Chains A and B, each alone.
Chain A
Amino acid sequence: SSLTPSTAYTYKFTGSPSKELSDINQMIRQGGV
């Protein structure tokens, strides 16, 4: 069942800086806080 995301982090292949993935990883580590 797909989650109804309150917010979602996005990243674009070859278009976004690696930092956006670091932000996603940090959000996941913090359990979405």
Chain B
Amino acid sequence: QEVLEEVELLKANIADLEIQERELNMQKACLQQSIKHLNEDPSSCRYSYVTHEDICDAFGGDTLLAVMAPSGTQLEVPVPEMGHNGQKKYQVNLRSHSAPIQVMLINRE
């Protein structure tokens, strides 16, 4: 009898969780839509920028590359390997399919 009650309890709990999950899926889809509209709305798009001072205040490094690229641009970082001179080489590849990529070099000094 006890196990049967446990089964009924679990079924009710799983039904609740199903409703919760459906609600989360809906809220997530709504929010993604809202963010997409914000990114595409000319009146807010025009103000969606940061300045080089913002970047310098946010990061400690001395050399900063700001890479502006259209949504969907692919960034690829191969696992670093030893170069010919025994020094590790680190690489970043950027590939856009819809618009040119712009890079701003920010040298703190």
On whether A and B touch (CB less than 8 Å), the answer reads yes
Interface residues on chain A, number (Cβ under 8 Å): 20
**A17 contacts the other chain (CB 8 A):** no
CB < 8 Å neighbour of A11 from B70, B75, B83, B91: B75
Are A7 and B73 touching (Cβ within 8 A)? Answer: no
Are B69 and A3 touching (Cβ within 8 A)? Answer: no
Across the two chains, which residue of chain B brings its CB closest to A24?
Answer: B77
Cα-based distance from A10 to B91 in the complex (angstroms): 12
**B60 contacts the other chain (CB 8 A):** no
> Which A1-33 residues have a C-beta within 8 angstroms of B?
1-15, 24, 27-28, 31-32
B-side contacts of A11, CB under 8 Å: 74-75, 77
A-side contacts of B88, CB under 8 Å: 31-32
Across the two chains, which residue of chain A brings its CB closest to B78?
Answer: A5
Please give the residue numbers on chain B whose beta carbons come within 8 Å of chain A beta carbons, in ascending order: 39, 69-81, 83-84, 88-91, 93
7 pairs, CB–CB < 8 Å, chain A vs chain B = A3-B89, A5-B76, A6-B78, A12-B75, A13-B73, A27-B77, A27-B79
